[in-house]
Structure 1
Amino acid sequence: MGQADGTLARHAWMGLLARSQPGRLAAAVEALGTPPGHDWLRAPEVGAVMVRGRVGGAGAAFNLGEMTVTRCALRLASGEVGHGYVQGRDKAHATRAALVDALLQGPRAAEVEAGVLAPLRADEAARRDLRAAKAAATRVEFFTLQRGED
């Protein structure tokens, strides 16, 4: 895997960790066993970021508003560095996300992929499917009985 592929993969798993349900992430991390020791590079802290938007996806950028986020960074005893950024004020969620990010860069990556990321992907897909089913239930199909063409 090239550096660009690795960067894209890390981007994807960090997004998944940030979007995950805090309880599900906690259960998945707990199932891995005792978390390895780590040192804080940046202890969990709560702050705000400006959310920007674009009209139509291509228009001029505008400030939509602020969003609360929690971030942290840690270094495992083995040297891998992990970062966690999550929406809201959940310091434990950010810590778990950073821990998983660091573990995915080390020798336990395959175990963490199977034990943490795979279940979180399944949960996210199930939530997406449920949302799509709810939207489909309100869909109205229009049809004509006669088209007016003779």
Structure 2
Amino acid sequence: MSIQQQVKAEPARREAMAVLANSPTETLAALVASLPPPAYETIRTAEQGLVMVRGRVGGDGAPFNLGEATVSRAAVRLAGGEVGFGYVLGRDGEKANLIALCDAMIQASAYRGDVEAKVLAPLREQLAARREERAAQVAATRVNFYTMVRGEG
């Protein structure tokens, strides 16, 4: 893949990684198992570590260190040379491996369509349904405040 193609594919890859990271491990594993298994090697087995989480007061203030968060990461390389990385909050090494495999497959033109149709599309639908359900729960508890005009004037 040329550099121009990589730059054009970056927003789609970023969105795909967000969908994969926000999906349950069991669902992701079942959907990836439905794909034809590609030949790949593990570059970095799933490992856990810490990252520093930074924050800002008011969104534009000086950054400060909020604390540390546990992260799992993994990396794989397909037989065609595509390298995929998986990062996920928490200690879920299996999910990091699955995300890395999907990331590599998204970069390979031979697998991209299958990953989009059989993994990403169903996960997007599930995430949208969860968002709608959450929005409905929030809307049910919404209180509308209004001011009544007193008859004094």
TM-score scaled to structure 1, two decimals? 0.90
Of 19, 25, 29, which aligns to 1:16?
A: 19
Equivalence map 1:4-43=2 (5 Å): 4-33=7-36, 35-43=37-45
Q: Higher mean Cα deviation, 84-93 or 1-10?
A: 1-10
How far apart, CA to CA, are the structure 2 residues paired with 1:3 and 1:46? Answer: 28
Equivalent residues, number: 149
Gaps of 5+ in 2: none
Report the alpha carbon displacement of residue 2 of structure 1 after superposing the two structures with TM. 4.9
Report the alpha carbon displacement of residue 79 of structure 1 after superposing the two structures with TM. 1.4
Question: Is it true that 1:101 corresponds to 2:99 in the alignment?
Answer: no
Report the alpha carbon displacement of residue 145 of structure 1 after superposing the two structures with TM. 4.4
Q: Higher mean Cα deviation, 4-13 or 99-108?
A: 4-13
Cross-structure match for 1:92: 94
How far apart, CA to CA, are the structure 2 residues paired with 1:148 and 1:124? Answer: 50
Question: Counterpart of 1:70 in structure 2: which amino acid?
Answer: S
Query: Which 4+ runs in 1 deviate beyond 6 A?
Result: none
Question: Counterpart of 2:14 in structure 1: which amino acid?
Answer: H
Cross-structure match for 2:46: 44
**Which deviations, in whole Å up to 9, do the C-alpha atoms of 1:29-58 show, x marking residues without a partner?**
01113x222112211111111111112221
Identity %: 55
RMSD over equivalenced CA pairs, Å: 1.8
How far apart, CA to CA, are the structure 2 residues paired with 1:113 and 1:89? Answer: 26
Q: Higher mean Cα deviation, 138-147 or 86-95?
A: 138-147
Cross-structure match for 1:70: 72
Cross-structure match for 1:60: 62
Report the alpha carbon displacement of residue 120 of structure 1 after superposing the two structures with TM. 1.0
Q: 1:2 to 1:102 in 2, by over 3 A?
A: closer
Gaps of 5+ in 1: none
How far apart, CA to CA, are the structure 2 residues paired with 1:94 and 1:78? Answer: 21
Q: Higher mean Cα deviation, 62-71 or 2-11?
A: 2-11
Question: Counterpart of 1:65 in structure 2: which amino acid?
Answer: G
